[in-house]
C-alpha cells in the first residue's frame, strides 16, 4: 500500500480494497520498523491514529466522506496538536503539550485525515539541513550519509521513505522546496496569506507559510484543497475563495509563457543540476510552452536581506520563551534574571542563539536604520522585480537548490555556506509569492529539483504546470534505494 500515491489511496479506500484502519496500521508498522534509520519522526501517535482511522472508516461506509477521508499523513512538529507534544525540535519545548490544534490541523481533521505523528525538523525551523534538531539529524533516504534539507527535513524524509504518503511542512525561506528537491518530492509553498498560520509556532511572521510535501503534483493539489482556508484568527490570512486545485491539472500548456531568470544560472550552480534544469525547459517546449529570458536584478540581495529580516523577527517571536510560562525551565535559579538567562541559554541550540543575537543587533537603536530598515527597502525592490516579470510571463522557472544533498557536517562550520543553499528560494518568501519544487533529474544518484514560481494566488496554475511535466517524465516515480 505504501507504493501508492495519495490519489491512488483515495480510490482504493472507496473501492474497499483496504480500510483506513488497515492503511494506517500499515504505515505505523513501517514507521516502527524503519524510522530508526531515518529519524524522520519526533512523536508517533498510534492510538490516536487508529481512533481517527476507525472514525474515517465509518464516514467512508456512510458514502459521504470528503476526498481525503481516511488518508494518513504526518504533521511537521511546528504545528500545534491538541494533547500531543509540539516541540519545534527544541529542548525549549520538549515538554510542551499543545492545548489546541493549529487551523490546518483542524482542517484536515474535519476532512477525516489521520495523523500518524509529528515529524522532525531544524530547531524552530532555523536551518537548511535538518542538523539543528534537538532530537538529532534526519537522514536522507536517497543517501543516509547526506542531509535531507531543512527545515522540513523530517516531513520530506518520511514521505521519501514511504513512512507517510504526504506531510505538512512550513517554508520561511525555502524550507519546503529545498527538502523536496533534495529528497525527490513535490513541495509547494502557497502565497503568503493563502493558508492560516494560526497554531504554527512562529519563526519570522512575515515570511512563514504552511505547505505540503507529497510525491506528485496531483497529491499536492488534493492536500491543498483542505490546507487552504480563510481564518479570522489569523490577521494575515486573506479572505478569498478556495478553488478546487485538482480542476485544472490536465489543462494543456500551449501558449504558456515561462520566464527563465539569467541570475539563477550563474556562479555557484552545480553544472549537472543546471543541465537537468535545461533539459526540463526542453520538455516544456515540447508541451507547447514558450521560453523567455528574464531578469530579476536584485536576486543577489535576497540572502543578505533575508538574514537581517528573518533573524529580527525571530528575536521578537522567541522572546516569549523565558522559562516562566511554559517550556523548559532551568533548575534552581538564583533570581528572575538567572531564570531568564539560564533557561534560554540551556533551552536553545546554537543556530537559534545565533539568529536571536543577529536579530537583536539589527533591531537595536543604533543599527535599526542601518540594517533592518535598509533590508526592508531591498525587500520591496525584490518584490517589484517579480511584479515586473509577471507582466511578461506566466511562470518563472529555475533550479530549486544549487546542488544535490550534501554530506552531514560539511557546512555546519560555515553558516554563510549553509545560508547560500537557499539562494534560489528565499526571494519568493520575501515577495510573498507561491513556489513549488518538483524532481527533474539525478546527480550522483541523488535527486535535484526544478523550481516553479507563480504570481500571487496562482497555486492552481503552478500545480497544472508541475502535473503536466510529471505526465511527461518519470522522475517523481523514482524511489530511493533500499526502500522496501
- Say which residues have a Cβ less than 8 Å from residue 349's Cβ, sequence separation at least 6: 90, 91, 123, 132, 134
151 is catalytic: yes
19, 87, 175, 196: the catalytic one is 175
Q: Is 401 a catalytic residue?
A: no
Instruction: State yes or no: cis peptide before 151, omega within 30 of 0.
Output: yes
Instruction: Please identify which of the residues 76, 139, 411, 446 carries the catalytic annotation.
Output: 76
Q: Among the options 151, 152, 343, 401, which is catalytic?
A: 151
Q: Secondary structure of the chain in the HEC alphabet?
A: CCCCCHHHHHHHHHHCCCCHHHHHHHHHHHHHHHHHHHCCEEEECHHHHHHHHHHHHHHHHHCCCCCCCCCEEEEECCECECCEECCCCCHHHCCCECCCCCHHHHHHHHCCCEEEEEECCCHHHCCCCCCCCCCCCCCECCECCECCCCCCHHHHHHHHCCCCCEEEEEECCCCCHHHHHHHCCEEEECCCCCCCCCCECCCCCCCCEEEEEECCHHHHHHHHHHHCCCCCCCCCCCCCCCCCCCCCCCCCCCCCEEEEEHHHHCCCCCHHHHHHHHHHHHHHHHCCCEEEEECCCCHHHHHHHHHHHHHHHHHHHHHHCCCCCCCCCCCCCCCHHHHHHHHHHHHCCHHHHHHHHHHHHHHCCCCHHHHHHHHHHHHHHHHHHHHHHCCCCCEEEEECCCCCCCECCCCCCCHHHHHHHHCCCHHHHHHCCCEEEEEEEEECCEEEEEEEEECCCCHHHHHHHHHHHHHHCCHHHCCCCCCC
By annotation, the residues acting in catalysis are 76, 151, 175
Amino acid at each position: 500500500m505504501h507504493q501508492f500515491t495519495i490519489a491512488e489511496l483515495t480510490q482504493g479506500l472507496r473501492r474497499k480494497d483496504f480500510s483506513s484502519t488497515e492503511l494506517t496500521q500499515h504505515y505505523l508498522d513501517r514507521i516502527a520498523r524503519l524510522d530508526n534509520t531515518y529519524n524522520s519522526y519526533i512523536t508517533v501517535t498510534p492510538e490516536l491514529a487508529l481512533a481517527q482511522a476507525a472514525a474515517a472508516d465509518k464516514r467512508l461506509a456512510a458514502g459521504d466522506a470528503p476526498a481525503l477521508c481516511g488518508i494518513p499523513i504526518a504533521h511537521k512538529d511546528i504545528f500545534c496538536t491538541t494533547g500531543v507534544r509540539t516541540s519545534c525540535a527544541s529542548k525549549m519545548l520538549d515538554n510542551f503539550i499543545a492545548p489546541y490544534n493549529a487551523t490546518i490541523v483542524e482542517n484536515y481533521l474535519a476532512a477525516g485525515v489521520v495523523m500518524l505523528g509529528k515529524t522532525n525538523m531544524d530547531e524552530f525551523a532555523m536551518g537548511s539541513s535538518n542538523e539543528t534538531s534537538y532530537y538529532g539529524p534526519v537522514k536522507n533516504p536517497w543517501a543516509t550519509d547526506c542531509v535531507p534539507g531543512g527545515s522540513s527535513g523530517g516531513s520530506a524524509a518520511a514521505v521519501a521513505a514511504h513512512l507517510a504518503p504526504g506531510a505538512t511542512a512550513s517554508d520561511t525561506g525555502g524550507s519546503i522546496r529545498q527538502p523536496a528537491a533534495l529528497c525527490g518530492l513535490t513541495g509547494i509553498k502557497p502565497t503568503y496569506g493563502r493558508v492560516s498560520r494560526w497554531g504554527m509556532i512562529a519563526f519570522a511572521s512575515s515570511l512563514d507559510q504552511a505547505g505540503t510535501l507529497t510525491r506528485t503534483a496531483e497529491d499536492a493539489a488534493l492536500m491543498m484543497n483542505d490546507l487552504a482556508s480563510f481564518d479570522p484568527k489569523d490577521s494575515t490570512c486573506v479572505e478569498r475563495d478556495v478553488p478546487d486545485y485538482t480542476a485544472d491539472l490536465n489543462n494543456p500548456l500551449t501558449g504558456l509563457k515561462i520566464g527563465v531568470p539569467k541570475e539563477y544560472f550563474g556562479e555557484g550552480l552545480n553544472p549537472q543540476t543546471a543541465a537537468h534544469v535545461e533539459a526540463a525547459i526542453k520538455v516544456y517546449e515540447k508541451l507547447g510552452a514558450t521560453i523567455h529570458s528574464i531578469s530579476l536584478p536584485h536576486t543577489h540581495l535576497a540572502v543578505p536581506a533575508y538574514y537581517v529580516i528573518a533573524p529580527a523577527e525571530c528575536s521578537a517571536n522567541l522572546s516569549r520563551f523565558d522559562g516562566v510560562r511554559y517550556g523548559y525551565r532551568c533548575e534552581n535559579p538564583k533570581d528572575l534574571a538567572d531564570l531568564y538567562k539560564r533557561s534560554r541559554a540551556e533551552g536553545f541550540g546554537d543556530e537559534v542563539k545565533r539568529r536571536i543575537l543577529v536579530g537583536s543587533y539589527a533591531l537595536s537603536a543604533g543599527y535599526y536604520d542601518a540594517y533592518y530598515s535598509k533590508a526592508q527597502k531591498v525587500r520591496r525592490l525584490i518584490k517589484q522585480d517579480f511584479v515586473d516579470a509577471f507582466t511578461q510571463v506566466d511562470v518563472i522557472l529555475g533550479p530549486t537548490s544549487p546542488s544535490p544533498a550534501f554530506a552531514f557536517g560539511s557546512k555546519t562550520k560555515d553558516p554563510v555556506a549553509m545560508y547560500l543553499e537557499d539562494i534560489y528560494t528565499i526571494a519568493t518568501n520575501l515577495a510573498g509569492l507561491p513556489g513549488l519544487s518538483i524532481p527533474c533529474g539525478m546527480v550522483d544518484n541523488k535527486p535535484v529539483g526544478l523550481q516553479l514560481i507563480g504570481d500571487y494566488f496562482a497555486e492552481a496554475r503552478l500545480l497544472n504546470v508541475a502535473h503536466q511535466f510529471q505526465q511527461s517524465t518519470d522522475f517523481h516515480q523514482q524511489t530511493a534505494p533500499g526502500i522496501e
